[in-house]
Amino acid sequence: MRIAVEGCCHGELDGIYREIAHQERQGGFKVDLLLICGDFQAIRNEADLEAMAVPRKFLQLGTFHKYYSGEQMAPIPTVFIGGNHESSSYLWELYHGGWVCPNIYFLGWGNVINVGGLRIGGMSGIYKSAHYNTGHFEISPYNDNHKRSIYHIRKFDVFKMVQVKEPLDIFLSHDWPRGIEQFGDVHGLIRRKPFFQAEIQRNELGSIAYEQVLGSLKPAHWFSAHLHVRFTAEVPWITEQHQHYQHQHQSFPEPSVNPDEIKIGLDDDVTSMPASSHTSVNPDEIQISLDDDDDNNEDTSDPPTEPSTPAPVVSNPDEIKVEDDSDSGSTGDTKQAETSSAETMEATASVPLPARRHPSETKFLALDKCLPRRQFLEIIDFPEVHGPTEFRYDEEWLAIVRTLDKYMSLTHSQPPAPEGKRLQRELEENRQWVKANVTGDKLLIPSNFVQTTPPYNPIQTLGPKEKHDYNLPHLNPQTEAFCELLQIPNQINAGGIQARPESYPQFTPPVGPSSHTPPMHTEYHQGSGNFYRPRPPPSRRPMNQHQQPSRGGNSRPPYPNLPRRPPPSMHFQSSPNAPHSWRPRPHMNRPPFPQSAGGGPPHPPRQPMNLPPPTGVSGGGGGGGGGGGGGEPLQQPRRPMNLPPPTGGPGPGPRQLLTVECRLGSGAAGTVYKGLWGTRPVAFKKFYLTESESQQRVIRTEVQLMRTLLDRHIIQFYGEDYYDDKLVIIMEYAEGGCLKNAIDKDKLGWCNKIRIADEIARGLEYMHGQQVLHRDLKSANVLLTRYLEVKLCDFGLAQIRTLTASKSTGGFRGTLRWMAPEIMSARPKYSTKSDVYALGVIMWELAADCSRPFKGHLNDAVVGHLVSNGERETIPETTPRWFSAWIRRCWDQNPAQRPEAYSVVLMGHGDDGKQQAYASGSTVDASPKHSIERARWSDHEAAPQRVGIQPQNRPVSAALASLTRQKSLMPSVFMGRNNNADASKTNRENVDKVAETMLLMENKEEIDEDRAVAAFHANLFLATTEQNIGAQYNVGWMYEHGFGTAQDNAKALAYYRSAAECGLARAQNNLGALYRRGKMGLRQNYTEALWWLLKAAEQDYADAYYHLGWMAENGAGIERDYGEAVSFYQKAAEQKVVAAQTSLGRMYQRGMGAPQSDTMALHWYQQAAEQGSAKAQYILGHMLETPGLFIGDGVSDTNEEAVYWYRRAAEQGHVAAQTRLGRMLQRGIGVKQSTCEAIEWFHKAAESGCAEAPMILGWMSETGRGLPKSIYAAN
C-alpha cells in the first residue's frame, strides 16, 4: 500500500490531488490513501467562514465546497485531522469522526481506525494550557474567544488516547510533540527557521500533550504539520528507557549518535546556544499559517533551577497574527497543566502494560503547507500491507469510547475519569461487549455522508441571518449512528437542527467526462513552481464546432469553460448578421442536436423511457414546464429505463436513458417530473391517457409550438417520445422554480423585479412575433433559472394566431384571476392584448409581493365579475410611479388602450419622450444604499429606472448628452430659479454644459473645480431622482476618482453596482475588473468577476472580452484554456483595446492557443504600439532590433525602426526601453552615435529603479568611456 502524506492543507484540495496525480504519472504507481495533517478547512459555504479564527484577509472558501456539493469527487480515499484553522462548527458535528464529504474521512477530536490493514490514529487541535483542563464548553455560533478555544486539545481527549495499548502503525497530529527536534537535524531546523531557536532553548517547541501521547503509544510512524517546514526524526525506544520514561523526563532523551552535536536546551543544565541578536523575517513568505495562541508562543516549561539569560524572541514569518483572548496567569495555568499531565502519566504508567510488540523506533515526519516550491507532500510505501482500502472501526478504540464517553463534559468543568484497576476492569468489560455486539460488517464504517447545511451557491450570497442560522448546532446523522452502534447517548449537538439534504440545491453533473475525475485545471510540479495544464487525449476532447439554429439573429461566440456560474443559457450578443457558429461545452444547457437537411429546425434525439404513474398529491408549480423546487420524491427508487423502440416520435437520433428523480407538479394535461436525460438534468411532461380528439389536438399543438419556439426566454424543447400511447416531452429544467414561489418567499429586490418583468415582456414579444398567443400567462407558468432568468412555459392553451384568432372561440380557457375582461364576456376574444393584460397582473404581483390577485375573494366567479366591471387590485404606494403607470396601462379595461409587448420591453430602454408619455411623473426619490459588498434596492426604495441603455460603441457621457438635452426636470433649488419656461431653457443649457464637462473629463482634459462640482451635482440628480443609469455610472466614477466631490470607494461601488444591475455594460465591466483585481476594498473574487464580465460581454463590450481573455489565459476562476483566451483577446483587439492587442501579440509570439506566428505577433504589437502602448512599443522595438530571432532572416535594416519604437516607449517612462535606447545611442546602432544622449537615458532608467543602467554608468565611469574616469563615481 502506498500512502501520500500532506502537511497543512489550507483548503487547497485541488492542488494536492493534482500533485499526487503528477507523481503517479512520473513514478508509474497508484496512491491508495491520502493523509492530511490538519488545517484542512472544510468550508461548505460562506457561513462556515464565520467559525474560523483567522484574519479576514485570509478568509477564503478554498476548494472543499466542490467536493461537499458533489461537483467533484475525491479521487483518493482521504483521512485528515483538524488543526487550528478549521471551520469548527462543522467538524464538531463529527466529534467521533465521520465523512465530511464522499471519500474524505475526518478522524474527529481523537480516533483510531483501520484502513486496508493499517491501524491509524490521530488527534485534532493544538495545545494551550488555559483550556487543557476544561471541558468542551463551546456552543456555536462561536464568539471570538470560542473560535480559538474550540480547537485547543483537552486533557480528557488525551487521557482517552493514552488508553490505547495495542501498537499503532500511524499517528496523525497537527502540532509536533515537544522535544522531537532533538532526534533530528536540529541545526538544520534552526537554519531554516531561526525563530525556533528561543523556543528550543526553553523546551517549548511542540506540544507537551502530544509528547505524552508519543511516549505512551510509540507508533511506527508519526506525521505532523503546523510549523510549515519539512523535518524528520527517529525516536528510538529502548526497553529500560521506556520503563522509566514517563517518570524521569519531561522531554525525550538526547541521542548520543553525533558526539560533535551542540546540545540545545531541553534540560535546565544544558548550555544554551547563543541566539541571534536580530529578528529574522522572510520577506517572500506567504503568511497563511499559525495564530498567536499556539503553544509555540506560551511559557509551558517549569522555571529553570538556575537563572539563565533568556534568548531574544524571534518573529515567525509563517505566523498569522490573530488576537487571542488574554488569559491572566497563563504561567500558572501552564504549570498546573504540566503537573496534571505528569500525574496522568504516572497513573497511566502504574497500570501494568499488556504484552505487545511495539516498534523499536518511531519515524517522525513533518511537512510544509501546500504552496509552490514547498515540501508539502511525501509518498510512503508499506509493502507488507496488501489489504483493500476499506475503512473499519477499531475494536479497542470502540471499547475506550464506550467506557469514557459518559465522563465527557460540555461545561468548563471537566470531572476526573476513573483510573487504575477500575478503569482497566471497565475497559475489559466493554471490549468484550464490542466483540459480542459489533462484529463482521458492523465494523465497516458506513458510507453515510449527509449534507447538514446547503453547499456554497455562487449566485445567492448569504445574509447575516442565514449565516447565523447555518452556524446553529446541527445534528449530524453520522454521529447519531455511531452512538447508536455503541449504545451510548449522543452528546454532540443532541438538540440541534435536523439535516434536510433533499431541500438543498444539489450539484448537477456536467455532460461529458465524469465529474468524479481528479481536477485537471492545472498541473503543479513540486520543487519547480511550474504550473501547466496537460491537453487531454484526442478521444476526450469536445467537438470544436457545432451548428445551431439561429435565435432571433443572435450569435454565440466561443464560450469559456465556466464553473457553476454564470447561467448556462447566457450567450453573447453581437451583430444580427453574424454567422451562428459556436463551440459547445459539456456543461451547456442544451444537448447537441443533429442539424436537419435544408437548414430547418434540428431533429432532437428520440428518448426511450418508461415513466411511473403519478402518485401522491400534486406538488405546486404548475404542470407546464421544468420548474424546480417543491417537488416530492417518487415512491420507487431512481432507476434507468431502456425500452424497445417506440412506434412514433420525431426524427432519428441517438437514444439515451432517462432516469426519474421526483415529481414537480401536475396540470390539466399531464404531470411534470424532474430527471436525468443521460447525464443531463431535464424536466419532462407525461400527458394523461385520453381518447378525446380535442385533447390530443391540444397536446399536438403544445409539442408543435415548443418545437418551433426558440428564444432564450422560452423553456427549451429537447425531444419527445411515445410509449403505450402516452406522449412524453423532454424540456429544459429551470432550477429556480416558478415565479409564484419566488414571490411567496419575498426575496426579490426591485432590481430583480424590474428585470423579470422586462424578460417576461421579451418572451411575449418573441411569441407574438411568431404569431403565437400564450392565453394562460400567470406567475405559475413563469419559470426562473437559478440565476433568475425568465423562462415562459406551459403552452397547452397557446394558439397559433390566424386571421380569426381574435374572434370568438366558443368559450374561454385559462386561469380566471389573470384573464382579461374581454375573454370573460359572452363572446370571448383572444388577442395579443389579452397576454399583455396578464403581464400587467404579474407586474402587480411583483410590486405587491403577492402571488394571488384578489386574495380576499375565494370565489373565482366573484373575481371575474369584479374584473369585468373594471375593478383592479390596489397598487402599493412603495411602487415606483413609472412602474405603477405601466401596470395600469397593461390592465386597462379597453384592449385598444393597452400597449403591445414590444412597447413594454421598451419601458427601461426607450427615449425620454416615450417614457414620459407612458409613465408620467418622476419616480420615488431614493438613493442607493452605499455598501461595498452589496448595493441592493430595498422594498421601500425606488428601483433604478433603465432610461437609456446607450449603445456601447460611444462614450456614456456622449449618450448622456444626447439624452439629457431633452430634459427640463432639473430642480429649481439646484438651478436657483423657478420652474417656468425660462427655467426650462436654462436647465437645458446647463445640462448641455454638464454633458460637455463629462466629455472633457473622459478626454482627460483639465476642468476647473466649479465645473467639476456642477457636473457631479447634475449627475447625482439624474442618478437619484430620475434613476438614469448613465448618470449612476458617472457618479460612481466621480466618487472613485474624487472628481467634484470627496473620494468615497463605498459609494462608488454602490453606484457602479446599481448601474450594472440595470444592464449598463460599462458598469458591469468596471465591477468585474474590480473584483478581478481586488481593488477599492473588494476581496479578489474571480467567480463574481466572471459573472459581471460575462454580462458586459453579452452586450459586446470590448474591455470585458479582454478581462475574460486574461482569466482564461491564467486559469482565474475558470479552467485555463489558451484557445479561449485567444478568442476573447481577438474580439477585444478588433475593437481597439490596446491591452488585448498586446496580449494577443504575446500569444501568437509564444504559440499559446494559436499557431506560433511572429508575423501575426508583429502585426498586433504594431497595432497596440500605434495606439500608445509603451509595453507594445518596447516589444516591437526588441523584435525589430533582432529580426533573425523573431521575424525571419529575410528582414533587415530594422534598427532605425527599433530606435523609433524604443524612443516612443522611453518617452512614456518605460524603464527597459530607456536602457535599450541608451545602448543603441551609445553604440550608434540604427541612429547617429550620441554618448551624451545615451547617458541621459541611462540616468533616467537608473532613477526609475533599473538595475542594468547603474551598472552601465559604473562601467563607463570606471573605464572613462563617455564619462570622466572615476573609481569613486563608479563605486
Distance between first and last Cα of the chain:
62
Q: What's residue 395's pLDDT?
A: 93
Q: What's residue 37's pLDDT?
A: 95
Q: What's residue 238's pLDDT?
A: 66
CB 346 within 8 A of CB 78: no
Give the pLDDT mean for 159-187.
Answer: 93
Whether omega for the bond prior to residue 566 falls within 30 degrees of 0, making it cis, is: yes
Residue 279 has pLDDT above 50, yes or no: no
Give the pLDDT mean for 516-529.
Answer: 35
Report percent pLDDT > 90 for the chain.
19
Task: Give 937's contacts (C-beta < 8 A, 6+ positions apart).
Answer: 749, 750, 751, 926, 928, 929, 943, 944, 1058
pLDDT tens for each residue of 583-595:
333 333 333 333 3
> 808 pairs with which residues across the strands?
829
Distance, in Å, from the CA atom of 1091 to the CA atom of 1071, rounded to the nearest integer, reads 10
Locate 434 and state its grid cell.
464490542
Give the pLDDT mean for 621-635.
Answer: 46
Which comes out higher in pLDDT, residue 578 or 497? 497
∠ Cα 484 489 494 (to 5°): 100
Task: Give 1265's contacts (C-beta < 8 A, 6+ positions apart).
Answer: 1259
Helix axes 881-890, 832-848, angle to 10 degrees: 140
Query: Count of CB atoms within 10 A of residue 264's CB?
Result: 22
CB 1130 within 8 A of CB 1144: yes
In CATH, the architecture of 597-732 is: 2-Layer Sandwich (3.30)
Q: What's residue 374's pLDDT?
A: 87
Residue 80 has pLDDT above 90, yes or no: yes
Least confident piece of the model among 136-140, 382-386, 394-398, 550-554: 550-554
Residue 1096 has pLDDT above 80, yes or no: yes
CB 1057 within 8 A of CB 1069: no
Distance, in Å, from the CA atom of 985 to the CA atom of 319, rounded to the nearest integer, reads 66
Least confident piece of the model among 281-290, 434-443, 792-801, 1138-1147: 281-290
Residue 1020 has pLDDT above 70, yes or no: yes
CB 333 within 8 A of CB 293: no
Distance, in Å, from the CA atom of 1122 to the CA atom of 1152, rounded to the nearest integer, reads 6
CB 1134 within 8 A of CB 1169: no
pLDDT tens for each residue of 463-496:
788 888 888 999 999 999 999 999 999 999 888 8
CB 838 within 8 A of CB 861: no
Give the domain 739-803+815-918 fold: Transferase(Phosphotransferase); domain 1 (1.10.510)
Phi, psi of 36 (to 5 degrees): -120, 130
pLDDT tens for each residue of 1039-1085:
888 877 888 888 888 888 888 888 888 888 888 899 888 888 788 88
Residue 260 has pLDDT above 60, yes or no: no
Distance, in Å, from the CA atom of 235 to the CA atom of 213, rounded to the nearest integer, reads 13
Task: Give the pLDDT band (50/70/90) at residue 519.
Answer: very low
Q: 474 by DSSP, 3-state: which?
A: strand
Give the pLDDT mean for 32-52.
Answer: 92
Distance, in Å, from the CA atom of 792 to the CA atom of 767, rounded to the nearest integer, reads 10
Q: Quote the pTM value.
A: 0.42
Residue 919 has pLDDT above 70, yes or no: no
- Mean pLDDT computed over every residue of the chain: 71
